[in-house]
């Protein structure tokens, strides 16, 4: 099990490989997405039990709106079913839910469930679960700049003040970013926030990424020396 020392406070996960997982088994892509949703629940609870304070899952990017409409419709339905099923479980487990991204692009039913889940879990304090949905890091930064200008704070901005205009305001920056499926890029995920994050890439497809590999990622993180640009003498 991971040591309590040097434990990542905030982990971000780019959940990738659902479609390829399904294709490798001769299954429809939609089955990969369904199994990926099941895996997400396991990892959320595992992260909470391990002591992670914040977990951000990259669920659906702004670029994903370019996918076939039939696939998008299934993904949105899966998200709706998932929230309906899990919102009370989140509250029971002490998990505070929040969504980041351009929520207005989502179907009205999904928007309503996101708002309901956020309200239902607002007093929870064991772990923050942040769902990046209809999200793009560049888009988030642009929206933050516009908010800063509208507030009149643009002439007084420093990094700390600017961070308050981001979707993740109030949440510590991620210590560890995990990407599954063998890809070695961050795909527009938490660009500002992950400036000094450690990265863990695995060939495992998301539906096969279990608690054991989450533990391995944390243990790998704990073996690294984080200097944040400084030199250790």
Per residue of the chain (233 residues), give pLDDT as tens. Answer: 676 778 999 999 999 999 999 999 999 999 999 999 999 999 999 999 999 999 999 999 999 999 999 999 999 999 999 999 999 999 999 999 999 999 999 999 999 999 999 999 999 999 999 999 999 999 999 999 999 999 987 677 899 999 999 999 999 999 999 999 999 999 999 999 999 999 999 999 999 999 999 999 999 999 998 776 665 55
* Residues 65, 57: Cα–Cα separation, whole Å: 17
203 is catalytic: no
User: Where does 14-138+174-222 sit in CATH, by number?
Assistant: 3.40.1180.10
pLDDT at 154: 65
Which helix (H) or strand (E) segment holds residue 14: the answer is strand 10-14
Task: Please check whether residue 114 is in contact with residue 106, taking contact to mean a CB–CB distance below 8 angstroms.
Answer: yes
Cα torsion for 102, 41, 119, 166, to the nearest 10°? -40
pLDDT at 156: 79
Q: Which of 16, 128, 167, 175 is catalytic?
A: 16
What does the domain layout of the chain look like in residue ranges?
A: 14-138+174-222
Q: What is the pTM of this model?
A: 0.94
pLDDT at 137: 98
pLDDT at 173: 97
Query: Nearest-CA neighbor of 90 among 100, 98, 79, 101?
Result: 98
pLDDT at 108: 97
Task: Please check whether residue 172 is in contact with residue 54, taking contact to mean a CB–CB distance below 8 angstroms.
Answer: yes
64 is catalytic: yes
**CB atoms near residue 101 (< 10 Å):** 22
CB-based burial of residue 47 (10 Å sphere; 0-12 exposed, 13-18 middle, 19+ buried)? buried
Q: Which of 18, 64, 175, 220 is catalytic?
A: 64
* Residues 129, 12: Cα–Cα separation, whole Å: 10
Task: Please check whether residue 137 is in contact with residue 167, taking contact to mean a CB–CB distance below 8 angstroms.
Answer: no
* Residues 75, 78: Cα–Cα separation, whole Å: 5
């Amino acid at each position: 099990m991971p040591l309590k020392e040097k434990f990542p406070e905030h982990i971000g996960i780019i959940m990738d490989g659902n479609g390829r997982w399904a294709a490798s088994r001769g299954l429809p892509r939609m089955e990969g997405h369904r199994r990926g949703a099941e895996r997400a629940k396991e990892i959320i609870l595992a992260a909470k039990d391990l002591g992670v304070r914040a977990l951000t899952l990259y669920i659906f990017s702004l670029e994903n709106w370019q996918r076939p409409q039939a696939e998008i419709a299934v993904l949105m339905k899966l998200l709706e079913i998932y929230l309906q099923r899990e919102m009370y479980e989140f509250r029971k487990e002490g998990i505070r839910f929040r969504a980041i991204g351009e929520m207005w692009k989502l179907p009205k039913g999904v928007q309503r469930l996101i708002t309901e889940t956020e309200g239902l879990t607002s007093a929870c304090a064991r772990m923050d679960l942040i769902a990046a949905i209809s999200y793009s890091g560049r888009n988030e930064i642009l929206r933050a700049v516009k908010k800063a200008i509208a507030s009149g704070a643009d002439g007084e901005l420093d990094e700390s003040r600017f961070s308050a205009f981001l979707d993740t305001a109030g949440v510590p920056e991620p210590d560890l970013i995990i990407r599954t499926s063998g890809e070695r890029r961050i795909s527009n995920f938490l660009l500002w926030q992950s400036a000094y994050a450690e990265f863990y890439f695995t060939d495992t497809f998301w539906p096969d990424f279990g608690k054991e590999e989450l533990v391995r990622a944390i243990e790998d993180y704990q073996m690294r020396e984080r200097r944040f640009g400084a030199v250790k003498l």
